[in-house]
Amino acid sequence: MESDIGFKTALEEAQKGCEEGGVPIGAALVSADGKLLGRGHNMRIQKGSATLHAEISALESAGRLPAATYRGATMYTTLSPCDMCTGACVLYKVNRVVIGENKTFVGGEDYLKQKGVEVVVLQNEKCEELMKKFISEKPGDWNEDIGEEDS
C-alpha cells in the first residue's frame, strides 16, 4: 500500500512550485512507519539555486538523521530523479523511491535498482500536466535544470 501522505505531500509541493512560477517538482521523505520526515520542491527559479531540486529540498528539510532512519524510508518525488537526486538516495540508502511520472524525463531509475532500491512509477497525470505546462512556458529554465543546452 502506498503511503497516502507521501505522494500527496510531494504533489502539494509540486503545486506550490507551480504557483510560485518555479519548476513544478515536489518531493517528500517518509519513514518506515509512515511519518513525514521532510518535504520540499525545486527552488531553481525562486532561490536561484542549482542544487535545490525537490528531493534535495526534502532531504534538507528533514535535517540530520541517523543512517538507520533513511534505510527504511521512501522518497516520493513527482518526477523521475536526476543523477544528483538519484545519488542522494543512494548515499543515504533509502529503501524505496516512488515516482509520480517518468514520461517527461527519465533519470537514474536503473542505477537505483542496481543499488537495491525499490522503484515504483505511478504515471500520475497531474504530475505530467504540471511539467508539460512548465516546459511549454519556460523551456530554457527546464533545460538548465537538467543540465541540457537549449535546442
The site for a copy of itself (CB under 8 A) is made up of 44, 48-52, 56, 59-60, 62-68, 70, 82-88, 90-93, 108, 143-144, 146-150
Specify the residue, 106 or 146, whose C-beta has the smaller distance to a copy of itself.
146
Nearest-approach distance from CB 42 to a copy of itself, in angstroms: 12
Cell numbers of 60, please? Answer: 534538507
* Nearer residue to a copy of itself within complex by CB, 20 or 92: 92
CB of 22 to a copy of itself, least distance (A): 12
**So which residues are the catalytic ones?**
55
| Minimum CB distance to a copy of itself smaller for 2 or for 91 | 91
How far is 15 from 13, CA to CA, in rounded Å? 5
Question: Could you write out the DSSP letters of every residue in the chain?
Answer: ---HHHHHHHHHHHHHHHHTTS---EEEEE-TTS-EEEEEE--HHHH--SS--HHHHHHHHH-S--HHHHHT-EEEEEE---HHHHHHHHHTT-SEEEEEE-SS---SHHHHHHTT-EEEE---HHHHHHHHHHHHH-HHHHHHHTT----
CB of 86 to a copy of itself, least distance (A): 6
105 touches 128 (CB < 8 A): no
User: Please, which residue, 124 or 138, has the CB nearer to a copy of itself?
Assistant: 138
Least Å distance between CB 38 and a copy of itself? 9
